[in-house]
């Protein structure tokens, strides 16, 4: 874009007399979502290289961590008589029951060891309330509580976000949809995302939902 400036890796462009800043949001690039992890996303480790390639191009990089207490309500093991994949009601929301994953402080909750964590400026942890899940980086699934990420981005004049990570059909999708609702300009780097695909096509349907909501879907940020 002709009006775009690239200042020491910080992409800024003038809007209404202010600068708007681009941020990269890396969603849940954690061991438990990798092949062999507790809640494996097929080919999930492919997003690490994509994330690492993007990081140097952004002046502001945020990473999220799914960060559950062991008694979290999204874990099947915490609901007697229920199994992984069953759907229950949790504070009025439909909740899929998952295997226990990303328990606070465990190796499964750590970022993938090859992720360039030195390039991350801020970490948002979500899913910490045992009573409600939080797929989105911004709000819990019942939209009752904010994670603080919105305030963090607004305080830094972020107007545009690029999103990649895991999983396309859950945390990436809900993060992208909330970001659009918050008035941010949202680009999803599809090549840097992978889906759980519990039902075949879930990932593709999630991409359609994001596009319909106003997200820009791209396969590369290079021009």
Residue 66 or 169 with smaller CB distance to Zn ion: 66
**Where does this chain bind ligand VGL (CB under 6 A)?**
28, 33, 66, 98, 135, 166-167, 170-171
Nearest to 30 by CA among 109, 121, 113: 109
Q: Contact, 39 vs 99, CB < 8 A?
A: yes
Least separation in angstroms between residue 98's CB and ligand VGL is 5
Residue 12 or 126 with smaller CB distance to ligand VGL: 126
> Is 171 labeled as catalytic in the residue annotation?
yes
What is the phi/psi pair of residue 150, to 5°?
A: -60, -50
| Binding segment (CB under 5 A) for Zn ion, from list 54-62, 66-74, 142-150, 158-166 | 66-74
Helix 202-213 to helix 173-181 angle, to the nearest 10 degrees?
A: 10
Residue 127 or 203 with smaller CB distance to Zn ion: 127
Residue 169 within binding range of Zn ion, rule CB under 5 A: no
Q: Choose the catalytic residue: 45, 126, 164, 193.
A: 126
36 CB burial (10 A radius; 0-12, 13-18, 19+): exposed
Residue 33 or 138 with smaller CB distance to ligand VGL: 33
Least separation in angstroms between residue 87's CB and ligand VGL is 13
Least separation in angstroms between residue 217's CB and ligand VGL is 17
Least separation in angstroms between residue 15's CB and Zn ion is 35
Least separation in angstroms between residue 103's CB and ligand VGL is 12
Residue 66 within binding range of Zn ion, rule CB under 5 A: yes
> Is 28 labeled as catalytic in the residue annotation?
yes
Residue 21 or 167 with smaller CB distance to ligand VGL: 167
CA angle 59, 65, 69 (to 5 degrees): 155
Pairwise CA distance, residues 109 & 31, whole Å: 6
> Is 215 labeled as catalytic in the residue annotation?
no
Give just the sign of the alpha carbon dihedral 201, 37, 58, 175: positive
What are the tokens at 43?
């080919």
Q: In Å, how far are 6, 111, 154, 162, 205 from 3, measured between CA atoms?
A: 10, 36, 22, 19, 34
Q: Choose the catalytic residue: 22, 28, 45, 169.
A: 28
Report residue 133 CA to chain centroid gap.
13
- Per-residue binding letters, 121-160, with Zn ion (x by CB under 5 A): ------x---------------------------------
Nearest to 176 by CA among 141, 206, 201: 206
The residues that are catalytic are 28, 126, 171
Instruction: Give the binding site for Zn ion (CB under 5 A).
Output: 66, 127
């Amino acid at each position: 874009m002709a009006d775009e400036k690239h200042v020491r890796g910080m992409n800024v462009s003038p809007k209404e007399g202010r600068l708007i800043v681009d941020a990269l949001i890396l969603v849940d690039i954690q061991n438990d979502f990798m092949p062999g992890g507790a809640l494996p996303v097929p080919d999930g480790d492919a997003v690490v290289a994509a994330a690492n390639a993007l990081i140097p191009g952004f002046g502001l990089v945020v990473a999220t961590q799914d960060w559950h207490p062991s008694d979290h309500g999204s874990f099947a093991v915490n609901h007697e008589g229920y199994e992984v994949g069953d759907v229950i009601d949790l504070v009025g929301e439909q909740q899929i029951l998952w295997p226990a994953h990303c328990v606070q402080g465990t190796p499964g909750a750590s970022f993938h060891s090859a992720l360039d964590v030195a390039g991350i400026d801020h970490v948002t942890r979500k899913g910490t309330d045992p009573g409600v899940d939080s797929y989105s980086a911004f709000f819990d699934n019942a939209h009752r509580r904010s994670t603080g990420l919105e305030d963090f981005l607004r305080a830094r004049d972020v107007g545009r976000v690029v999103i990649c990570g895991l999983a396309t059909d859950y945390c990436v999708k809900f993060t992208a949809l909330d970001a659009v609702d918050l008035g941010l300009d949202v680009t999803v780097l599809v090549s840097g995302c992978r889906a759980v695909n519990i039902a075949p096509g879930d990932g593709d349907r999630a991409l359609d939902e994001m596009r319909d909501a106003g997200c820009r879907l791209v396969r590369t940020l290079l021009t």
